[in-house]
Structures are given as structure tokens and as C-alpha cells.
Amino acid sequence: MRTGSHLPLLFSLPAYAWAAPQEDIEHRIDALLKRMTLEEKLGQMSQSTDLAAPITDKIKQQIRAGRWGSFLNAGGPADRAEAQRIAMRETRLGIPLIFGRDVIHGYRTIFPIPLGQSATWDEDLISQAAREAALEATAEGIHWTFAPMIDICRDPRWGRVAESLGEDPYLTSVLGAAMVRGFQGDSLNRADSLAACAKHYAGYGAAEGGRDYNSAWIPEILLRDVYLRPFRAARDAGVATFMTAFNTLNAIPATGNRFLLRDILRSEWKFDGAVVSDYQAIRELTAHGYATGPPDAARKALLAGVDLEMVSTTYFDHLKALLQANLIDMREVDEAVRNILRLKFRLGLFDGRRPAAKPGIAALPAAERLATESMVLLKNAGGLLPLKKTIAKLAVIGPLADSPPDQMGTWAMDGNPRDVRTPLAAFREMLGNDRVVYASVLKNSRDMSTAAFAQALRLSAQSDAVVLFLGEDATMSGEARSRAFLGLPGSQEQLVDQLASTGKPLIAVIMAGRPLTFHRTAEKLGAILYAWHPGTMGGPAIAHLIFGDSVPSGKLPISFPRSVGQVPIYYAHLSTGRPPGPNDLGTPMGTPENPKDYTSRYIDLDFTPEYPFGYGLSYTTFRYSATRVSAPALDSSGSIEISADVSNTGGRPADEIVELYVSGPAGGSVARPVRELKGFKRVHLAPGETKAVTFSIRRSNLAFYNNRMEFSAESGRYRAWLAPDSTRGTPVDFVLK
């Protein structure tokens, strides 16, 4: 069994191995700060993208003058090496540069998008993927990645849900911390350590209307209990840096938000790493209406606690004048520079850190395994899957079956399409070219044309089964890719309608960067495999799943709505005073005089999600039985165990992800969610095998923020479930004394 971490991790002291004893680093920073000019300090607080290939004389001279402290997504390995040589050998103080890059879900080898990775519920494998990405990136002189993105996202209209780890703070905390450990390795000063960045701090996933860069309104109790928890977990995992968010949070932009950056991050959490703005976010304080212009934006960002400005230049342009006008203090500048220098010392850059050795091909097997575990089987009517390899002819339909850029997904800037192994190629390799017929039918997923439908019908009629690739192009998700409608784009639904008329078995593989709505289409499909954007090795992973070499084990990290009108929809909601029950499906018929259906629901759609959080099918079946609790009560210092017997009642060996949910306390100081994920375990079971799966619960696992912003566990009655998803399971009760 592989076990998810438990909540005490989120609130423990950090135990991270830094480059050198902290006292030595601070002494070296003190000595350096005393020698630095103001211009050199402002240069350290500035980050540029203007490192061309080849490096220009203008940039060389700016580096010699100390104009820049870091570069973002810029230059090639040789250019970075030359820029670093100049910084360390041809500048007055020899302060090294940091080279950052958006290594989001892989570097050269592209892993599934983060939302897909989260569907594995496999922290060890996710950590390994981040480690492989770090090995590839650091071999080319990259020191810093702007990942993981650990925004809680409950609105699939938002394009950046693809970069998130889903809707749940516990799952995001565990997997986000795993990414941090993978990127950074055992110690930041190692040549293969890639400094991680927890982003976007904070509340960006709650952007109003799912529109990017938009406002977020989050009461403090919800902010602390849900949206900040993954960031605290990243801090406790030793994350090197934080990035501010583009959004306003309760009318104050996150990049100018002292409450977030100084009160919580620095004072409460004792974070001593560097804080970087998002791309031009300091300059955008003026567009928010929060600053009167660039000088005021620079002042407010610095006072709030932003150390490093990404791309825009308000710090370099205006902090000197603000100092002269006594609108800021040199201590605030020195504090920011100290945090940046501390990062450089921890990375070993002052001591001549060199690029890591180039890795071998170990990333490809990990990429295929992660892609395989990420895919979620949503439907398998009549056991249609897996197909038999003796099939005479297979029709493969749809442009996403053979589109390397779309398979890589959003934020795959260093991925090479030539490396990508597509599903079409994998099917042909498995079955032979003569047994696989293919038609793209559409130019891309957005194509409205129906001109090639006849070809698809002809090929399907000649085949024994049809694997139909549906979904979104990679360009439809990611930053600034919000959608008002979540249906299958283009003429894809019409294509399914046509193919369903052939009577051939229809298997849909859906590649997308978000949950989509496809209820009517799903009724016409025999099987649905949700593949996200699965990365470099997605093709073999899909082929092996379709033909049974692998067994699906992915579980949804986010609820799938039936309609966009249900958004936001998430499992850990409050009950309301009139909660709908299992019989409150369909169209209500009550009246004000006889309010038998006056519950919190819709009159034109079932209130439940299409597919709930934690859901995912297998090629076998599992039975949960004998759920039990080791004691009726839990005292303040002990623990109790929640157990259930999980049996493989089907005919294939497979993995099941067992999920622990808890609710309560009844009658507490605030209303609590109907369920909250508190743990998970991956269990491998042979056919007919039963294993007892046990979780330990301590008082700290039950803690939450009350209306006085106190984090504690309250006494009372709690309820627990061991379940295959967030809607099922037999409850057991216990009392916290």
C-alpha cells in the first residue's frame, strides 16, 4: 500500500536540508549588503526575459552593471552559461544570476498536465516526475521553476484549472508537497536541485466567474481552511519561493496584500525564502485601481512584502525616488535583497554551482506510468473494455489521436513534438498498420465542419470497434483560456451522433485540460476514458489501457458538473438548512402550500455532479465491507483507527484507491462540510483477495478554523467513511472528547 500523508505534516516545523548552516549564510549576506550600492540592490530585485540567443552586447553590459538579478524563460544553455560567467567574473561583487523557467509538468519529457497528475492520487510517482523534470532542466542551467501551482479550483470554466491539482485542499497539499520535494531533491545546493515556487498566493483559483486575472472574494475562515492550506503544506515541505497572484483578494490585489505576505507568510508561517511577483503584476496594481501609478505600485508592493519584480520595472525605476522622499525605508529594500541573496546562497550559486549532468532515458518510463495512472475510466457499459488484441480491425477517429502538441497540453514550452508517441502510432505498433484505419475527420477539436463525416462512417462500418478521440486542443486550456461553455467544442457531438448510428462499439478517449460536460454524448458511448492531456508517453499509455495491458486506477481530483449552470460544484460543501436527499432527483412538484420538494436544488437538472470527486472505474469490481472504528471515542492525545475490508470481486488484479472522509463535529462553533478528505491509500488486490485497510486519526486531523480564526479540533460527534469516491461508503461514528 502507498499512503497519503496526514494533516500533522501541514502544521509541523520544516525539516529541509539547506545548502549551508543558516548562520554562515546570514553572515555572508550581511557582508555583501554592506558593500552593495542602491543600484545593485535594485538590480537584484529585477527579473528580465531579455536574454537573447545569442546574448547581445547590450545585455552583457547590463549584467556587468548589475542591472538584473535573474532571468525568466530566456536564452539557451550556452547563453545562460555566458551570462553567469559575466555576472560572477566581470561584475564588482560577483553576484550570480538565477535562471528561472516554467517547468510546469516536465521539461523535455512532458508528463500529464498537473490536473491529470492529481488524478493518480500517487504522491510518490508525482514526486518522481518532478525529480525527472528537475534533472532535465538543471542539466541545461535552469535553477528555478515556477511550480507547483496549488490554487484550489472549483470552477472548470477557469482555464488554469489544467495547472491545478483540483478542488480539494488535502489532496492538493499532499501532492503539492510531493512536487516540491521532487523538484528540490535532498538539498537546494545540489547541482540537480530545482528551486520550487508555490503559486499563486493566494485565492487565484476562486477568480470570479472563472475569468482569468479576476477578483476573488473569500471570507477569512474559508481562506484559511481551504485556500491557504496547500501553501502552508508547501512551506512546511521547504519550498524555496512563493509567487503572488494576479487577482484581488477581498478588494486588495494579492501582489500588494500585506495581510497575505507579511502577516501570514512571514509572521505566522516564518517563511524566509523569496517572494516573486507574477508577470508584470506589480505594474498591474495601477490597472486594479489600487495604485495611482507605477511609483505608488512599487511602494505598495514593497511594503506588502514582494521581494522580486517579474519583467516590469517599477522597482528599478522608482524605489530610489521613493527612498529620497522617505516614502519607503532602506530596511525594506535590504530585507527584499536579503531574501533574494539567501536563495542564491542556498542554491550554491555563489560557490560555483555548475549544471547537472544530463540524465538518461529514465523519464520516459515514469512518464508512461504517470500517464497510465492519471487516466480515469468514467464508463464501461457491459465490460466493453478492454478490447481483445485479436480484433480484426480497429477504427481510430479524431484529430487528437495523432496531434503531438495537443497531447502535451498547456505550458509545455520545452517539450519536443518529435518525442511524443501518439495513440495512433501506439495502436499501429501494437496491432500492425493493416489492422488500424484512421481518419482525423476534423482539422482540430474546434472545427465545425461535417464534410469528412462520411469517411468516418465508412471506416467505422469496416471495423470491429471504434476508438473516438474527443476533447479540447491544448490551446483551449491554460492561462487566459476561460470558457463560458464546457461542452465538446466544434462538431464533435454531431460526429458521435453519426457514428452511434453504425451500431459499432464506440469507445471515447477524451483529452482535455478541464472537466467537460457531455451528458447527452455519453449516453451514446459504450466506454469513456478521460485522458486529460497526457504528455509525451500518452499514446502507449492509452493503447495499453484500451487493450488491457494496464488496468485503469485513476480517480477524479475535481467534480464534473452535469451542466455549466451547476458551477461551482464541489463535494465538500455545506449542508444548507434544506439539503436535498437521494430521492430529490428529477423535476420537483411541490408547492408553497405543500413544500415537499423545497430543498436546495434545481428545478431543471439533478443537483448531483455528473461524476463526483474521487470517482473512477476499473476493469474489475471492488466491494467495501465491515467498516469499523477501533474505539467509540478519541481523547486529546491518542488516536483511533478507521478500517474496512476491501475485496476484489472481479477477475483481474488491480489497484484501488481507498479514500477516507470525515465530517463533523455535530453542533460545533461553525457549520462544517458534509465530508472532507482526510487520507487515501493505494491497495493492490488479486482477484478474490480481501485486505483490511486502516487509517489512523488523531486530534490534529480534525482541526479547522473557527469564526475567531483559531485552528483547533472541537469536541463532539464525528462521522467517517472509507469509500471509493466522495458519495459512497458506510459511515461509522466516533466522539472527540
* pLDDT beneath 50: ranges in the chain: 1-19
- 692 closest CA partner among 728, 642, 651: 642
Nearest to 514 by CA among 494, 484, 552, 540: 484
Nearest in space to 394 (alpha carbons), one of 342, 469, 304: 469
Look at strands 252-253 and 436-439 and give their pairing: unpaired
Looking at residue 612, what is its pLDDT? 98
- Report the pLDDT value the prediction gives residue 579, as an integer from 0 to 100: 93
Close Cβ partners of 122 (under 8 Å, ≥ 6 residues apart) = 2, 370, 373, 682
276 pairs with which residues across the strands?
243, 308
Residue 531 contacts residue 554 (beta carbons within 8 Å): no
DSSP result, 20-58 = S-HHHHHHHHHHHHHH--HHHHHHHTEEE----SSPPHH
Q: Name all contacts of 320-324 with Cβ < 8 Å and 24+ positions apart.
A: 320/38, 320/39, 320/42, 321/295, 322/295, 322/298, 323/38
Name residues whose C-beta falls within 8 Å of residue 22's C-beta, 6 or more positions apart in sequence. Answer: none
549 given a catalytic annotation: no
Distance CA 178, CA 522 (A): 34
What whole-number distance in Å separates Cα of residue 437 and Cα of residue 635?
64
Q: CA–CA separation, 241 vs 301, rounded Å?
A: 16
pLDDT score at 20: 59
Which of 477, 536, 510 is closest to 212 using CA atoms? 477
3-class SS string, 675-717: CEEEEEEEEEECCCCEEEEEEEEEHHHHCEECCCCCEECCCEE
* 8-34 pLDDT tens trace: 333 333 334 444 577 899 999 999 999
> For residue range 398-456, what is the model confidence (pLDDT) as tens digits?
999 999 999 999 999 999 999 999 999 999 999 999 999 999 999 999 999 999 999 99
How far apart CA 32 and CA 26 sit, in angstroms, is 10
3-state helix, strand, coil in the chain (%, to 5): 35, 20, 45
Give the integer Cα–Cα distance in Å for 275 and 253: 15
- What pLDDT does 5 receive? 37
Type of residue found at 474: A
DSSP designation for 227: I
CA 236 to chain CA centroid, Å, is 18
Domains of the chain in sequence order: 20-346 (3.20.20.300), 366-546 (3.40.50.1700), 572-608 (no CATH), 622-736 (2.60.40.10)
Give every CB contact of residue 389 below 8 A, 6+ residues apart in sequence.
Answer: 430, 431, 547
Report angle CA 579, 583, 589 to the nearest 5 degrees.
85
What pLDDT, on a 0 to 100 scale, did the predictor assign at position 589? 65
Considering only CA atoms, which of 399, 360, 395, 479 is closest in space to residue 108?
Answer: 360
Residues with Cβ < 8 Å from 323, sequence gap 6 or more?
Answer: 38, 329, 330, 333
Strand order in the sheet with 144-145: 144-145, 98-101, 70-72, 46-48, 309-310
Query: How high is the pLDDT of residue 590?
Result: 66
Quickly list H helices, 45-186: 57-64, 77-89, 114-118, 123-138, 169-184
DSSP state of 617: B
* pTM: predicted TM-score of the whole model, two decimal places: 0.96
Q: How far apart are CA 737 and CA 191, in angstroms?
A: 50
Q: Which of 155, 212, 236, 278 is catalytic?
A: 278
